[in-house]
Amino acid sequence: MVCGGYVCTKNALCVLNILYILVSLLLVGVAGWGKWFDLVSSIRVVAGVIGVGVFLFLVAFVGLCGALKHHQVLLFFYMMVLFIVFVGQFSVSCACLALNKDQQKLLLEVGWNKSEATQRDVEKTLDCCGFSFVPINGSCAASCFDIHPETCVTCSTTILQYAGEVLRFVGGIGLFFSFTEILGVWLAHRFRNIKDPRSNPGAFL
């Protein structure tokens, strides 16, 4: 039996939005866990991840309610928001996959200079000091700096060793979820135009 009827489309849309809800709860939980155990001290990073999780939860909740009630307005709103998210996420994912080494270093340096808390987290986790040079007369959260500062390596050297792999992984995950989003848009559009077989045959959708 081909999956194209009212019930099958409804179930597929519900499953997709339940998946989004689980991912959103995972994002919020990981961000809270990282902050609770002091793995991430930057409140901006934690707030950003939690914000993305809450936004995804709200969009998925709207989509789930629209699918369960066959609500035209909710499904239209869900479809429009999901399409906008798809365009943005697809663009960012492609950019992550296309960045060369020089562009990666420039992007990392911009992010590095925006938050001192993030700098301390990176220095402590990767055991490195500074971005382009080791601040011998300054301060550093790395353990090597307390023992032999001259033996410390710069964080740009350490990060760039893995930046390409990380960006490819992030870009790949982003592309995967962007295609699930366009699937959600297609399912929502299709479901809006399928008449509920249990409704009045003479009623409009």
For the record, the structure tokens of 89 come out as 């996420």
Percent of the residues in the chain that have a pLDDT greater than 90, as a whole number: 33
What pLDDT score does 47 carry?
84
What pLDDT score does 152 carry?
86
For the record, the structure tokens of 10 come out as 């409804």
Which residue intervals of the chain are DSSP H helices?
A: 6-36, 43-69, 72-98, 101-114, 116-126, 143-147, 155-192
Residue 204 has pLDDT above 60, yes or no: no
Contact 89, 177 (CB under 8 A): yes
CA separation for the pair 112, 114 (Å, rounded):
6
Contact 105, 160 (CB under 8 A): yes
pLDDT in tens, 23-82: 999 988 888 887 776 666 667 777 888 899 999 999 999 999 999 998 999 999 999 999
What pLDDT score does 86 carry?
93
Q: Of 107, 113, 115, which is closest to residue 47 (Cα–Cα)?
A: 115
Alpha-carbon Rg for the chain in angstroms: 23
Residue 173 to residues 23, 126, 153, Cα–Cα distance (Å): 13, 24, 30
Measured at the CA of 89, the angle between CA 85 and CA 93, to 5 degrees, comes to 170
Contact 119, 112 (CB under 8 A): yes
Q: Of 157, 75, 62, which is closest to residue 108 (Cα–Cα)?
A: 157
